[in-house]
Amino acid sequence: MPTFSHLHVHTQFSLLDGAAAIPNLYKKAAADGQPALAITDHGNMF
């Protein structure tokens, strides 16, 4: 089976669009066997 990786993920730093904490995203991706994760936050000044 081909490897899957999410390439459009928002964290709590995407204002009005994301809620997940970065460490939790990486833990879940690893648990699901995903070798990578693309964080695509927007709407912030960090």
What is the tens place of the pLDDT at every residue in 8-21?
Answer: 999 999 988 889 99
Q: What is the residue range of 3's domain? A: 1-46
User: Of the candidates 3, 8, 12, 2, which has an alpha carbon nearest to the alpha carbon of residue 30?
Assistant: 3
- For the chain, how many structural domains are there in total? 1
Rounded distance between C-alpha atoms, residue 1 and residue 23, angstroms: 26
pLDDT digits (tens, 9 = 90+) for 25-39: 999 999 999 999 999
pLDDT at 45: 76
**Verdict on whether the full-model pTM lies above 0.85:** no
